[in-house]
Structure 1
Amino acid sequence: MAKSLRFREDGSFKIVQFTDPEFSSYEAEEQRMEAMMLGILKDEQPDLVVYTGDIIASAGHPNPVVAFRRACSVPESLNIPWAAVFGNHDTEGTVTREQLHALQLTYPHNYAKPDPPGVHGSGNYVLTVEGKERETAAALYFLDSGSYSPLEYSRMGYYDWIRRDQIDWYTRESYRLTGSNGGTPLPSLAFFHIPLPEYNDVWDFGVCYGERNAPFCCAPWVNSGFFAAMIEMGDVMGTFAGHDHGHDFWGDWHGIRLCYGRTTRNAYLDRPFLTGARVISLKEGERSFDTWLHLEDGTVLSEQPKHEPEGRTPENVAIYLT
């Protein structure tokens, strides 16, 4: 039986984004994190859970699949639909992205799809949300933003980027869905791990809400054009990334809201920074969405003032970037 996501009777559709939980050893910190995640899901009652990468800390782990299964068990235990994309830490050990993606597809409440042939990475797929008025009322794109740059660090940066064939795949899917919607682009969101270079632009030159706790966002030095493609297609209203544990801001950049999740594990900062999740709420038939942060202590934050701490030392920045 085919799985399908649907808007509720009241026309809403809610997503909880968990990012960078880095499941590894089941010790006290991880048990506390898991309890927090379950508490947020019980409070928010989402229609979909999305992991935006670094689901596990696989480097040196004797069996990273065991850690990944613990992550899968969080939404599975509550019978909540879920899907995941991968980050740089997911496949630093003995497991591959292809293996993790195949594993998530075996779970009954997982809604991810097999990879399209000939597209770079693993975990590229699109999900649609059915509505009362239209069979397909919204679209959710998931892209593998890779891990580390395949080129020399001094020349092309440290982190990977969304590749040209992935962008071509996205535009083909967008054209297809727009065509089936009578020529009108579907209200859409996009999820990936490593932020786009435009996340730096929106903080430096736009209006943002939330925090950036380092001098920059750890985006790739290569701008492969994914943001421009989304502008051209006219469907994506917002993007959701992780990777930078101390950032949780969002801002509108040329009509697309670029959003960070709230780290679900340690932020590696030298001050208190509660873990949590980002929550996203769509409304059927509307080209907009609401979003807020749900923190470990139960606090809900929306449109908090822009904040960038002063006087960060190079040592603190280095710790943050690990």
Structure 2
Amino acid sequence: MKRKNKILLSVVCTVLGFAVVCSFAVYFLFFHRYRGKEIVSLWSETDSFSISGITTIEKQKDKPFVILNLADVQICDLEDLFSMNEIKKEIADLVEQTHPDLITLTGDQTWSNENLISLKSLISWLDSFEIPYAPVFGNHDCGNEKDSAVLSRNACCDLYEKGAYSLFQRGPSNLGSLGNYIVNITEEGKIIKTLYFLDSGYEEQISNEQIAWMKWNAEGIRTANGGMYTEGMCFFHKPIPEYAQAYYGYRNEDPSVEAIGDVWVTFSLSGSRQNGFFETAKSIGVTDIVCGHQHGNCFTLKYESVRLTFALKTGDRVSFYSDETVTLDGGTCLILDGGETRVETVFYDKKEK
């Protein structure tokens, strides 16, 4: 009898111990909040500019430079804890098809409040390709409300900055958001393209401070580049009002129309008020703007000398399509070749894989 009691007690203790361990694991994975490092780095228009502070990627002469953009991957710990293989397979397929020199991510890499495992897994997977990558934040990366997720923006910055092939920088802390940084593409040592990575933030508006910071950098790069603005590209999550103006101008449709044809085209725009971002971007030589956010939109239109591109959504998470409707899934390539930039859409059909 005593032996049976000992066995029963041992089983009970084992079960309780396992339950305690699982409880701690669940707490730290899904409920504990990681706030990250609060780093104060103030920028001022009176600061001295140094070109050495900007990351540079060298383009091979006479070879196209390929940028692969991934938009709105939106993985989530609770939904994808044991099922990330599909999105990993898709990203690997897109990389194999396009052979990119740089991978950009225009926000919402994760979504919901459970983002710890998802982001760590995504960063590890991106590093495995040994290709530089440059992410920006979307409106869901750190929770559906400001910093409501397990990982706050600061904590996400910590992880991105540790990525072996990540070009991410948290940037100045007084621009109204984090993750504003610049990458220059050079050929034979000369800057041929400046890439501005901006956080459209929880306010979903490129701030006046970001605009001033971008212009300040452009002026510094111009001076370092022989007095000429370099052609620029902007990457951020939520589209600006000019996207709607360009689209409805192209379609000659009533702006109140939200659904056209068999593809859902709608606009949730970054800042309904005009704050001069688009005009500033044009004035400093920006030729391309790339956004995500709208999972059902995929187009590129030239508007007032600037090509506005809605990046194709990557992955089937938070998709608004069924088998009976158009499926938009894949990546968007921006190819720098012979002094020109062209945009190509790379579709992914997992049924054929």
The TM-score bracket by the shorter chain reads 0.7 to 0.9
Aligned to 1:279: 333
Aligned to 1:241: 291
Q: Residue 110 in 1 paired to residue 161 in 2?
A: no
Q: Indicate the structure (1 or 2) with the bigger Cα radius of gyration.
A: 2
Aligned to 2:348: 296
Calculate the TM-score normalised by the size of structure 1: 0.80
- Residues 122 and 269 from structure 1, CA distance in 2 versus in 1: closer, same or farther, beyond 3 angstroms? same
Aligned to 1:97: 153
Aligned to 2:124: 73
- Residues 212 and 27 from structure 1, CA distance in 2 versus in 1: closer, same or farther, beyond 3 angstroms? farther
Aligned to 2:222: 178
Q: CA deviation at 1:74?
A: 2.8
Structure-2 separation of matches of 1:82 and 1:216: 29
Q: Is the Cα–Cα contact under 8 Å of residues 206 and 253 in structure 1 kept in the other structure?
A: no
Structure-1 separation of matches of 2:84 and 2:302: 34
Which of 200, 222, 228 is residue 279 of structure 2 equivalent to?
228
- Residues 114 and 88 from structure 1, CA distance in 2 versus in 1: closer, same or farther, beyond 3 angstroms? closer
Q: Residue 52 in 1 paired to residue 102 in 2?
A: no
Q: CA deviation at 1:44?
A: 1.0
Q: Residue 260 in 1 paired to residue 310 in 2?
A: yes
Q: Residue 88 in 1 paired to residue 139 in 2?
A: yes
- Residues 211 and 23 from structure 1, CA distance in 2 versus in 1: closer, same or farther, beyond 3 angstroms? farther
Structure-1 separation of matches of 2:86 and 2:320: 17
Aligned to 1:19: 71
Aligned to 2:194: 139
Structure-2 separation of matches of 1:58 and 1:140: 29
Q: Is the Cα–Cα contact under 8 Å of residues 18 and 263 in structure 1 kept in the other structure?
A: yes
Which of 206, 215, 231 is residue 162 of structure 1 equivalent to?
206
Q: Once superposed, what is the RMSD of the aligned Cα atoms?
A: 2.4
Q: Is the Cα–Cα contact under 8 Å of residues 56 and 186 in structure 2 kept in the other structure?
A: yes
Higher normalized helix content (fraction of residues): 2
Count residues with an aligned counterpart: 279
Say which is worse superposed, 248-257 or 175-184, in terms of deviation.
Answer: 175-184
Aligned to 2:44: none
Q: Is the Cα–Cα contact under 8 Å of residues 116 and 150 in structure 2 kept in the other structure?
A: no
Q: CA deviation at 1:78?
A: 1.1
Q: Which consecutive residues of structure 1, in runs of 5 or more, have no partner in the other structure?
A: 150-159, 299-322
* 1:139-189 Cα deviation digits (max 9, x unpaired): 110000013x4xxxxxxxxxx211000000000011111121222111211
Q: CA deviation at 1:45?
A: 1.0
Aligned to 1:38: 92
| Identity percentage of aligned residues | 23
Q: Is the Cα–Cα contact under 8 Å of residues 207 and 252 in structure 1 kept in the other structure?
A: no
- Residues 294 and 27 from structure 1, CA distance in 2 versus in 1: closer, same or farther, beyond 3 angstroms? farther
Q: CA deviation at 1:29?
A: 6.2
Q: Secondary structure at the match of 1:229?
A: helix
Calculate the TM-score normalised by the size of structure 2: 0.74
Which amino acid in structure 2 is aligned with residue 23 of structure 1?
Answer: I
Which amino acid in structure 1 is aligned with residue 198 of structure 2?
Answer: L
Q: Which consecutive residues of structure 2, in runs of 5 or more, have no partner in the other structure?
A: 1-52, 144-148, 253-259
